């Protein structure tokens, strides 16, 4: 009985890819790998795709002056929109290691951020978890 079950499982798991137009079957570059031709294999198959990072993400911070800010980072547009105490404050553009525009600046690393607004000293902020 075990032999019949094993044969049935093996038969169900065995499938053969359809041959290409020239009658040959290439199992994801198996022929090239068998020959040791890694350049041809890499050119035909390519590198493994890495998981895509989120294009847009958001974070919330509490600042030392008691204000709460929400930021929406758009990696595709290279911008960050800042909302302070529920009101839109500014949309900044990526500039090196920070975001800036019109006297506003947002810098951050890990859970810490620093927000600079025109005419005021920089304010330290911490991520809300």
Q: CB within 8 A of 127, min separation 6: which ones?
A: 59, 60, 61, 110, 111, 112, 113
Domains and CATH numbers, the chain: 2-45 (no CATH), 56-127 (2.40.128)
Quote the pLDDT of residue 43.
56
Separation of alpha carbons 81 and 6, rounded Å: 59
Q: CB within 8 A of 112, min separation 6: which ones?
A: 124, 125, 126, 127
Quote the pLDDT of residue 104.
97
Annotate 37-73 with three-state secondary structure.
CHHHHHHHHCCCCCCCCCCEEEEEEEECCCCEEEEEE
**Each residue's pLDDT tens digit, 34-69:** 445 545 545 555 555 566 667 888 999 999 999 999
3-state secondary structure of 92: strand
**Each residue's pLDDT tens digit, 73-84:** 998 999 999 999
């Amino acid at each position: 009985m075990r032999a019949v079950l094993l044969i049935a499982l093996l038969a169900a798991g065995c499938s053969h890819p359809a041959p290409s137009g020239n009658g040959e079957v290439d199992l994801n570059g198996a022929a090239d790998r068998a020959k040791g031709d890694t350049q041809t294999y890499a050119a035909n198959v390519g590198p493994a795709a890495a998981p895509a990072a989120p294009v847009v993400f958001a974070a919330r911070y509490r600042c030392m002056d008691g204000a709460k800010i929400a930021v929406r980072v758009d990696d595709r547009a290279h911008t960050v929109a800042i909302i302070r105490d529920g009101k839109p404050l500014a949309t900044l553009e990526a500039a090196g290691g920070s975001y800036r525009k019109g006297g506003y600046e947002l810098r951050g690393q890990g859970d810490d951020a620093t927000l600079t607004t025109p005419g005021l000293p920089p304010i330290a902020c911490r991520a809300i978890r």
